[in-house]
Structures are given as structure tokens and as C-alpha cells.
Amino acid sequence: MFMHLAKPLAPQPNLKTLQISNLSRRGFIRGTTGFTLGLSLVACTQNKPETLAQDASPIPDNSNVDVGPLVLISIAADGRTQITNPRSEMGQQVITTVAQMIADELDVPWDDLVIKQAVGDKKYGDQNTDGSTSVRNHFTRFRMAGASMRQMLTQAAANQWDVDISECSSELGVITHSSGKTLTYGDVAEAAGKLDVPAEDDVTLKPRSEWRYIGKDKPSYTISDVIRGKGTFGIDVKVPDMLYAVIAHPPTLFGKVKSLDDTAALAVPGVTQVIKMKEPEGEAPSFQQLGGVAVIGTDTWAAIQGREALEIDWDAGPNASYNSKAYAKELAATARKTGENKLKRGDVAAALKSSAKTISADYYAAHLSQSPMEPPAATARWDGDTVECWACTQNPQAARSTVAQICGVPEENVTVHVTLLGGGFGRKSKPDYVVEAALIAREVGKPVKVTWTREDDVQHGYFHAVSAQHMQGGLDAYGNVTAVLHRTVFPSINSTFGPAVQGSDFELSLGATDNPWDVPNMAVEVGKAKSHIRIGWLRSVANVYHVFANQSFAAELAHAAEIDQKDFLIDLIGPDRQIDFSKDGVTYPNYGASIEEHPVDTKRLKAVLNKAAAMAKWGRDVPKGHGLGIAVHRSFLSYVATAIEVAVDSDGNITFPGIWCAVDAGTVVSPDNTKSQMEGGTLFGISNALYGEITATNGVVDQVNFPDWRVMRMAESPHVFETHIMESDAPPGGVGEPGTPPAAPALANAIFAATGQRLRSMPLLGQNDRLDMSKVGEG
């Protein structure tokens, strides 16, 4: 699928790839994630393009395009540039951002770009679009691709003129010799395609002062078409002779069908078939299908009605005993017991015993659902033992490999086309729904689209872990913190993939073992917790509950010390320094990045805290019933502080007069999109803090749809939301997730400031989505 970007183009040339030698150079493959510098230079004949606006069919016709191995960039004879986007677009504007990075170094006119969406293939390097990695992990890679292509084009022009390359320069698709002669990129595309790819050490990236697109706000490549209904999402896909399917999944994890009566279902007009799904294998769900019964029909509505008519007797399986209320009590009890130590500094027990004042608090966070606006959807079509899939997936390579494994075909026989995604938040990194489509399509012998309804998504997803935490702190006579103990208990994401009854070092490094407080005695411990539903990552992962606990607890310590919350937090972080957590016995992954390139810098952390406070006019008098709260955290290599003002009326209703956010994400490629991600991430965090709760009874998720699974509404959004991006020339950090972790504790701290009520359990609100005003003043 080609995407029309920026303005109408002339007819698209036929792209004929020319061979490039020296594919093994170090500039081609870089790092453990399989850096792919894919370059293709092309000659052309005339042919009309498919674009996002014009693509009426979801099946890309690339029969006239030899993509070959390792392709990210193609140059046509008339100079137009095609960029292959290997990341998944889910509203975060990654298509635009990838284009900014490549086109800036390639030095081509912005309006002449065409974006082609990559299929899932290892040749594109890492395509898993989560973890806020699209810029922070690929900034140099994408720039190097553009710069290498520019150098090859310039060298081809120098060869044609029989001059040294040093006498040539390029700008916006035109190469100029010092004599004034010019050639366009298209003029030398064919010749450049015969050159070796330059080694990375021989390629010069532009200095920051010459950036044309990076750091600037560019118009979105997708929004104008999407808002006109011209984008193809997973749920929009149609192929000839396609059938539609929905699945009655087992109510409990690893439940099975005991008996099935499909008579009434088959009598529903439009229902064509009912099939029993392949059951998952092994003891871990992984990305497997859930099993159950699929209903296939001539349209989705018929399939849904057929599913309603099924009579199924279920074997509830090994997780039928799971009850959230009892499980929460178990977690809380475990959190109050000594766990496995994961951070040890000084002697916490002795320091607590000798403290002038001690404070303890218990925190709880419920399971959460990602609930993207577009539920999972996938289409599959078989031709012999090869299968094409179309899916709204964040991770097309995982979809490809999982379909191959479960269907028992070679991976090269599986093609996964990536559509636009109506949100993801981590749910669409798990390709179980793609596997379902492939299994059903093979069984019925026709193309099939599987649609998850909202009910399916809420009840059968990969849920964010529930957590209980216990914290203790000691203060000396002057209000200084002498000791902190943090215990955390939660079912691990690892339990989805194998035996695991304890949180991993990675999960602990998200807000627990990466605590930057300058406290002489500190310990972090983790307890055991068995999972009973599928556990998966959600926007900002374990930072959600860990930062809620430690930033709420920092405010509790400040209150006990009778010191302003913000001032106390600045002192708690301590002097400017770069922290080495390994000195305290911590296994610290640093979000997969080099600690030398991305150190944990307390100066940057305090800078965003001070900036957010200044934006909120911290310390000002606020009306009765209003309160200011603040929190700060480093996640995904970026630093974010959030200040929130709440207003609580006498009935317990909460409104938001203002939210102020300061972010230091290092080098920012797209400022406007960064601000949008901060706003979206913050509201995502507030919504989950106020309302988010997935519970289970006898292994069955209680919530069914949005009336039960409450999300923040537009009318509840803040009256004022201001975001400030700190100036920085540091390497890029992530922006999709870092806005979420500070939101919940800043909100809880603001509620305390407004009401005197300390809320330690999420969701924060009770019945009728209001605060219990009978507890006002209870700390």
C-alpha cells in the first residue's frame, strides 16, 4: 500500500530495483536489533500509484515493484522519493516522524515524498512498535540511511562529471558542482544504484544546525486522509470472497469446550459455518489462540448473532478459582512480608528503628485493559501452504513467526501486511487474533476476517498486572529521609510466556529499583504472585503502579515532615549526579539503552520538576476545594514532571482546572507530536487512575463493555493543559509512554491537597465515580 503524503503526485513510475553490491558492510547492519540500512535506487516507466487516499483495495499491488532485500529508500528517475516505513502507525504520527529523520539526511523536498508501509520482515530490523522505541532506538539508523543514500547519489554525480566528491554538494534533491553544474537525484539514480553502500564510518551526518525537518513541526502524512475516512484500518480490510468471523472464547484462561450445540446458530441468516477452535498448547498462553468456538458468516453482524445463539457447556479449567477480592488480599499480605531483595543500600531495618518518625503505607493498583479504540482485527487468505494476513498489529514480525509456528508452515510462507491501527497501547503487540484469522481461513477454505468486539477485548485481552505495594520510610528530627523500604508484588508479564511467579528485573526497573532518591538506607524487595489471566504490557508497563506508590509516598513523607511537597521532592532527589544503580546490587536494563549514552541524570530530573512547578505557579493560593499535586519520573529515557490542579465539590465530583507537564526527551524530532503524546499519555494515566479496574470472579472477567470498564470522557478533560519541551541536545528518549507514570500520583497528591483524603488504591474513585466525601480530612 502506498500512502499519499502532502500533495497529489504525478503518475507513479514503475519502480525497478537496481542491484547494490557490498551488502555486508558494517553500515548495512548495526547492533543487536538487526540494523538494516535498506537502500534502493530505481529506474522508471509510467504507472499510476496506489495512495492512502486512492487505495480502495486493502491488498497492495506490488507486482511491478521488486522490493528486493533491505529496502528503505527508492529514488525515481524524476527525483521523487519513496520511503518504506517499517513501524506501525497508530495515531502517534510515526510515519511523519520516520520521514523527517530519513528525508532530512537524504535532503529531498518534503512534498515529493511517498510512504510505503513495510510488511513484517526481519530485513527491516526491529519492527515492534512499542516501548517508545521508534525514535530513540532508530534515530541514528534512519538518519544514516538517508545520509548514505545522499552520499551515493553525490558520488554518482561526481563520477559523471569526473571530479572529486568533495567538490559537490546536495540540496533538496539537486547535486551541484563547484562550477555551477547541476544534476538531480533522478538523473543519477541508476548510476548510484551500481555503487557500493558506503561504510558507516565514511558517512557524514548533518550537524544539528543544518537540520531542515528534524526538530520542526511538519504536517501529518495521515491525519487529513484518516479524518475523511480514507485510511485502511485492520477492521476496514476487504478481500474478494471474504467471510467474517467472531469467536466465543472460553470465559476462563485455558478453559475448554465440554459440549456444543450449534443448531440455533446455524439457523441464523448469514451464518455459514461453526467450527471448534484449536486449543492452546502448553502451560503458558504466549501469543497462542485462546480456543473456543468460531462462528463464520457473510457479514460480521450475522456472525455475532450466531455466536449469541450458541449453546456451549464450558470446562472452566485451572483458573476457575481466581477471584479478585481474595487475590488482592493475598497480594497485600505478601507485600507486608520480606521478599527477595533487589536493591540494597545501607541498613534499612536499623535506620527505620532509629528514625525520629516512621511512616508506612500500602498501595494497590487493579488490573487494567488497554482498550484501544479499534479492537483487534485480522484478515487471512490462504493459497496452498502460503498465507497472507492483514492486521492492525504493532509487531508484524511476531505475527508472522507465530502464525508460521502454530499453522506449521515455513515463516517465508507467511506475509503480514500492516494496516493503520486505531490505537494499540501494547495490546496489538500480541498477535493472537492474527493466528485466529489464519487458523479459521485455512479451515473454511476462504479468506476470513476475524473481528474482536469490544466485549471480547475487555474480557479476553492481555491485562496489565494488578499490584500491591508496601512502603516504609524514616525521618530524622529535621525532616530528612533516613530510610526507605519498598516492597512490590504483582503477577509478571513473564508468566504469559513460561513459568514465572515473581516480577522480573526488567519490570522492577520500571519505577522500583530505578528510584533516584538520595537516601542513605534503601531496599526494594519483590514477592511472589501467580497469574490466573493473561498478563501483558500496557502503556508505560510497571511504571504505572510503581510510580503511583513511590511518588505518592514521597508526598506522604513531605506531609509528615511538614515540608512543601515540591521542595521536599527536590531535596529527596539530592545533588546533581549520574546514578549507577549497580552499586546497590540492581540489575538495571536502562530500557535496552547504553547507560553511557543515556545516564540517569538527576539534574535533568529536577529541571523538569522545577519547570512544571513554575508553569503551575506552585505555591499560589487556590480556592477552597482546590488542590495542587506534583510528581516526576524518568522512564523510557525521558524525564517528565506533571503538576495537576483539581477542584472537588461537596458531592465529591472532580474537575481539572489545569494540568502542566514538562518533558526532557533529549533531541525531539517532532515537537507538536511530542506535546500530543504528553497530553495523551497523561490523560491515559488519569483515566486509569480514576476509573480503571478489571476484576474477575471464578476466573471470569466481570467487566463487559464501557459501561463497566469506565474511561475518561471528553467533557472531563482539563480546562488548561500546557506542555513544555526542555531544550536538549542529548540523544532522543521516548515520548509515547513517559507522560503516563507521573499522572496518577500527581492526581492523588492533588486530591489530598484539596480534601485531606489520602487515596492509596487505584481506581481512586468509588461508586458513582465520586470521592467519598465522608472521608475528607482522613490522611
**CA torsion 708→709→714→715, rounded to 10°?**
40
pLDDT value for 47: 29
Residue 626 and residue 500 share a domain: yes
How sure is the predictor about 39, in pLDDT bands with cuts at 50, 70 and 90? very low
Please state the rounded mean pLDDT for residues 127-149. Answer: 95
CB 701 within 8 A of CB 637: no
Residue 20 has pLDDT above 50, yes or no: no
| Residue 198 within any structural domain of the chain | yes
pLDDT value for 230: 86
| Residue 307 within any structural domain of the chain | yes
Q: Domain end: 451, 473, 490, which one?
A: 451
d(CA 466, CA 468): 7
Please state the rounded mean pLDDT for residues 271-281. Answer: 98
Q: What is the CATH number of the domain that holds 618?
A: 3.30.365.10
Residue 415 and residue 364 share a domain: no
C-alpha cell at 17: 530495483
Residue 59 has pLDDT above 90, yes or no: no
pLDDT value for 540: 98
Strand ranges in 71-167 using DSSP code E only, listed in sequence order: 73-75, 81-85, 113-117
pLDDT value for 53: 30
Coil vs helix vs strand at 739: coil
**CA torsion 86→91→97→99, rounded to 10°?**
60
Spatial neighbors of 169 by CB under 8 A, at least 6 apart, are: 154, 175, 176
Residue 96 and residue 80 share a domain: yes
d(CA 640, CA 662): 6
Amino acid at 568: F
Residue 4 has pLDDT above 60, yes or no: no
Number of domains in the chain: 3
| Residue 10 within any structural domain of the chain | no
Write the DSSP string, 499-555: ---B--HHHHTTTTTT-----SEEEEEE-B---SS-B---TTTTHHHHHHHHHHHHH
CB 484 within 8 A of CB 348: yes
C-alpha cell at 210: 543544518
d(CA 108, CA 93): 20
Please state the rounded mean pLDDT for residues 42-67. Answer: 30
| Residue 58 within any structural domain of the chain | yes
Q: Domain end: 425, 451, 477, which one?
A: 451
Place of cell 567538490: 167
Tens of pLDDT, residue by residue over 700-730, are: 999 999 989 999 999 999 999 999 999 999 9
Could you tell me what percentage of the chain is helix, strand and coil, using 3-state DSSP and rounding each to the nearest 5? Answer: 30, 25, 45
Please state the rounded mean pLDDT for residues 314-320. Answer: 97
| Residue 3 within any structural domain of the chain | no
Coil vs helix vs strand at 379: strand
pLDDT value for 173: 96
CB 369 within 8 A of CB 440: no
Beta bridge partners of 2: 116
pLDDT value for 43: 33
| Residue 595 within any structural domain of the chain | yes
Residue 305 and residue 181 share a domain: no
Residue 24 has pLDDT above 50, yes or no: no
Closest listed residue to residue 90, CA positions, set 455, 287, 372, 369: 372
**Could you tell me the CA-to-CA distances from 77 to 55, 117, 151 in Å, in that order?**
24, 21, 17
Residue 292 and residue 346 share a domain: no
Write out the residue range of the structural domain in which residue 283 sits.
234-318+376-451
Neighbours of 38 (CB within 10 A): 24
Residue 661 and residue 566 share a domain: yes
Tens of pLDDT, residue by residue over 518-563, are: 999 999 999 999 999 999 999 999 999 999 999 999 999 999 999 9
Neighbours of 604 (CB within 10 A): 21
Residue 69 has pLDDT above 50, yes or no: no
**Could you tell me the CA-to-CA distances from 531 to 250, 321, 536, 539 in Å, in that order?**
17, 12, 11, 20
How sure is the predictor about 13, in pLDDT bands with cuts at 50, 70 and 90? very low
Neighbours of 16 (CB within 10 A): 18
Spatial neighbors of 378 by CB under 8 A, at least 6 apart, are: 234, 389, 390, 391, 392, 393, 431, 433, 434, 436, 437, 449, 450
Residue 357 and residue 259 share a domain: no
| Residue 7 within any structural domain of the chain | no
Tens of pLDDT, residue by residue over 188-242, are: 998 998 888 898 899 999 999 999 999 999 999 899 888 898 889 999 999 999 9
Task: State what percent of residues in the chain have pLDDT above 90.
Answer: 85
Q: Tell me which DSSP letter residue 328 carries.
A: H
How sure is the predictor about 439, in pLDDT bands with cuts at 50, 70 and 90? very high
How sure is the predictor about 56, in pLDDT bands with cuts at 50, 70 and 90? very low
pLDDT value for 593: 97
d(CA 38, CA 492): 37
Phi-psi region of 282 (alpha: psi -120 to 50; beta: other; left: phi over 0): left
Neighbours of 562 (CB within 10 A): 8
| Measured distance between the N- and C-terminal CA atoms of the chain, rounded to whole angstroms | 57
User: What is the model's pTM?
Assistant: 0.92
If you compute the radius of gyration of the chain from its CA atoms, what whole number of angstroms results?
A: 27
pLDDT value for 777: 73
d(CA 543, CA 741): 6
CB 488 within 8 A of CB 389: no
Please state the rounded mean pLDDT for residues 389-418. Answer: 98
d(CA 142, CA 260): 53
Residue 655 has pLDDT above 90, yes or no: yes
pLDDT value for 63: 28
pLDDT value for 768: 84
Residue 763 has pLDDT above 70, yes or no: yes
Sign of the CA dihedral with 483 first, then 487, 488, and 494 last:
positive
Phi, psi of 746 (to 5 degrees): -60, -40
Q: Tell me which DSSP letter residue 246 carries.
A: E
Phi, psi of 365 (to 5 degrees): -135, 130
Please state the rounded mean pLDDT for residues 89-98. Answer: 96
Residue 380 has pLDDT above 80, yes or no: yes
pLDDT value for 608: 98
Tens of pLDDT, residue by residue over 660-689, are: 999 999 999 999 999 999 999 999 999 999
Coil vs helix vs strand at 639: strand
Residue 343 has pLDDT above 90, yes or no: yes
Q: Domain end: 451, 485, 500, which one?
A: 451
Residue 198 and residue 280 share a domain: no
Residue 623 has pLDDT above 50, yes or no: yes
What's the mean pLDDT when you consider all of the chain? 91
pLDDT value for 37: 39
Residue 735 and residue 649 share a domain: yes
Residue 469 and residue 615 share a domain: yes
C-alpha cell at 154: 553525490
Q: Tell me which DSSP letter residue 92 carries.
A: S
pLDDT value for 12: 30
CB 300 within 8 A of CB 281: no
Task: State what percent of residues in the chain have pLDDT above 70.
Answer: 91
Tens of pLDDT, residue by residue over 163-200, are: 999 999 999 999 999 999 999 999 999 899 888 889 88
Place of cell 503526485: 9
Residue 195 and residue 89 share a domain: yes
Residue 30 has pLDDT above 80, yes or no: no
Closest listed residue to residue 150, CA positions, set 247, 51, 306, 39: 39
pLDDT value for 57: 30
How sure is the predictor about 9, in pLDDT bands with cuts at 50, 70 and 90? very low
| Residue 457 within any structural domain of the chain | no
d(CA 251, CA 413): 33
Residue 207 and residue 105 share a domain: yes
Tens of pLDDT, residue by residue over 683-692, are: 999 999 999 9
